[in-house]
Chains A and B, each alone.
Chain A
């Protein structure tokens, strides 16, 4: 996180002037398990993306889905909801 401003540099009322700046907060460190796709079984439907509370699952250029591990908290919804059950949750190493 960048150094916070002193009082003289705060805009009045302390608004946050940079939209979507929560992206600077990498929540991937919360994760105890990560989703792993078996892309042979993936039908590229995007239900994993649809139900991701972090909005961190996106298709790559081939349409295959991946979780951005900078943000993925490892909730496992994608694995639970996957239509072809192509996602498994793998425990993170210590």
Chain B
């Protein structure tokens, strides 16, 4: 069954309880806010969230109102993985020493693409390497949206942002999107996955797997930002889907080093259908679109090869 059909048949099977409440201050059509909602539906109330500074922090915790129905802590921008390391270590010690009751509690750190791929990368690497039993979640909207759409190392080639603007001598972002999942895989952790807000059941399933493993797991979830991508708010989910179908953001998981593509796309759609409704790509020439498409397809082919090699 395709994921699109899964959505239709399974939507009502979601837990009804909302642990991320309405009244949050995210923009219209904010897909990262939807990530928060799915995340807690997948993980449930026995979860502690360590949130980096960023969109999801600022829209959910404006004193005296909180959107969170689970214990939540924000310390700074670059350190949610480090804070989660401490929470995990603290709970482990307290339970072992009998100071609090034994109980399965999920510890999750999260940040956006800037908080993960740029400023938070060292803390993530440290946490993964040390083997804490925790989940790291990156919600990727492909730029520093909270501060006003500045480029990050998660911004795709060709995108115009406020610090990689298209101009007479610039076609926008001139570098290629950094792969957080591959960096995580290089830490030899038990579970790594990419996911998309447009495939919610796949995403929630991956979070449950991430939760079930002992040790660190990382989930990199794609989450369109209509404000930053300069597109109509109603297209957020459609764009997430097109990103998968054009290989702009493939969905896969790596379990103990074995790759598996979780959303196979035998016939990739032309990249143009993904780019055309987004203002951030509006300036791209045909040549640049071809270059971007070719680069993405080469990366996808390499991923397919890894998945095939993993089956041998």
Chain A contact residues, CB within 8 Å of chain B: 1-2, 4, 14, 16, 18-27, 30, 45-47, 49-56, 68, 70-71, 73-77, 79-81, 83, 89
Contact = CB atoms under 8 A, between A and B. Distances in A.
Given A80-B237, A81-B237, A25 B65 contact: yes
B23 interface: yes
Interface stretch (B6-14, B102-110, B123-131): B6-14
A83 B22 CA distance: 24
A51 B34 contact: yes
Contacts of A56: 22
Interface stretch (B140-148, B150-158, B228-236): B228-236
Given A20-B19, A55-B20, 19 more contacts: A14-B63, A16-B61, A16-B64, A16-B65, A16-B66, A20-B21, A21-B65, A22-B21, A23-B21, A27-B22, A27-B24, A45-B9, A46-B11, A50-B7, A50-B200, A53-B37, A75-B234, A75-B236, A77-B237
Contact of A80 (B12, B23, B235): B235
Contact of B29 (A20, A68, A70, A76): A76
Interface string B1-39: 000000111011010001111111111111101100100
B237 A71 contact: no
Interface residues of B, number: 43
Most buried by A among B7, B29, B64, B233: B64
Contacts of A54: 22, 24, 33
Contacts of A74: 28
Q: Which of A14, A55, A80 has the most CB of B within 10 A?
A: A55
25 contacts: A1-B64, A18-B64, A19-B70, A20-B21, A20-B69, A21-B21, A22-B23, A22-B60, A23-B22, A47-B8, A49-B11, A50-B200, A53-B29, A53-B30, A53-B33, A53-B37, A55-B22, A70-B22, A73-B28, A76-B233, A77-B236, A80-B234, A81-B237, A81-B238, A89-B234
Contact of A45 (B8, B20, B25): B8
Contacts of A21: 21, 64-66
A22 B22 contact: yes
